[in-house]
A and B are shown apart, each in its own frame.
Chain A
């Protein structure tokens, strides 16, 4: 079946512009995650949704970052007034239901990411 789809694949923005990054999770996956991966680094957690509820947004670096998932499926990560330090790959992942009713032992399925370059 289809995996996690992210668009656009590449985005170049001038400093100060707003950007919106889209994520289509695997159908039926209730959990959705956003990560930021700087060059040469491991992915860093940004935020987490269960259905439409944003349960954890502790990783969002500033109030310029905003994520939503209004219908519990597609999610959008919005960055306002982009800065050069926002340049990174933004990864989206979804997770299904694990064994024994515990979703935490179920792996995350990642999209190919959106590479954002702020000039």
Chain B
């Protein structure tokens, strides 16, 4: 069965530092890949998605992610963290043959001043 692994349940960075949140999926056929952000007491908001085409995907709020088939990874990055980036981040996949969106366990990002 398709699964998603997010390495690190908590990541803490200083304001202005690089943000790197890791996501690996298990599938021999690349799925559709998504990153969502969740602020406290709110629903999930789409940051970016990869379906086909260019492997470097740019999203909202300065985030981007690179699909690497050889590593079955879809890590999320942002060059310079902002205090407003503090939130929970979820990597998710839809198997290429379709079906439900499957989420990772999430990574809580803290940003220190």
Contacts and interface: CB of A to CB of B under 8 A. Distances in A.
A107 B34 contact: yes
B98 interface: yes
B32 A110 contact: no
B45 A110 contact: yes
A18 interface: no
Contacts, number: 56
A108 B101 contact: yes
Interface in A42-81: 42-45, 48, 56, 59
Interface of B is mostly: loop
A45 B104 contact: no
Most chain A CB within a 10 A radius of its CB, from B43, B94, B103: B43
Interface residues of B, number: 24
B44 A43 contact: yes
B45 to A, nearest CB: 7
Contacts of A41: 105-106
Q: Kindly state the interface size class of chain A when it binds its partner.
A: 20 to 34
A96 interface: no
A113 B43 contact: yes
B43 A112 contact: yes
Interface of B: 32, 34, 36, 41-46, 49, 51-52, 90, 94, 96, 98-106
